[in-house]
A = this chain, B = another copy of it.
């Protein structure tokens, strides 16, 4: 029997700092980041299979029909999706697979992947979230208010997640996510497989008689 990896879904409202946390998490560890497929054209510097898998609309639709997306959505006329086959391949290799995704996407992934570990990244406070949205956006006050309201509303979905991590500093948020992954690897259900895999016949025989 093969050790299976863990799917770690890092999600949260826009402005929570998902991108920064995931970047440092991947710099520190040998986790594998799931790469999205998209129908939009590639920009300068973007690499096929690293930034995105660039697909034609026909290719994308075929994959939808084949059920090869854990989730997909349209954004400004372009399609974006998480390829199931790639994720499954890495999980079968026993890897930790990181999926950085918005809340709607995470909820869809959870439907087909309830065993994934869903981490909700929170800004240090709603005030801070407000600042981050203001600093980042070049929008009208009206559209800003829409984004605040949407962020507030989205936080209600936290109850669908396994863990919540407050992104007060990137270092501490990353350390917490690393601890969550270590702890999940120690769960008895996962350990059982490892123990079965080991050559310690005595444990093997005695543990499951």
Contact = CB atoms under 8 A, between A and B. Distances in A.
B207 A158 contact: yes
A55 interface: no
A206 B152 contact: yes
A188 B203 contact: no
A120 B156 CA distance: 35
Contacts of A180: 179, 182-183, 186
A164 interface: yes
Interface string A166-202: 0000000001101110111011100110010010101
Interface string A79-101: 00000000000000000000000
Contact of A206 (B153, B159, B161, B207): B153
Interface of A: 119-120, 122, 125-127, 152-153, 155-156, 158-159, 161-165, 175-176, 178-180, 182-184, 186-188, 191-192, 195, 198, 200, 202-203, 206-207, 209
7 contacts: A125-B198, A126-B202, A127-B200, A127-B202, A158-B188, A163-B191, A165-B186
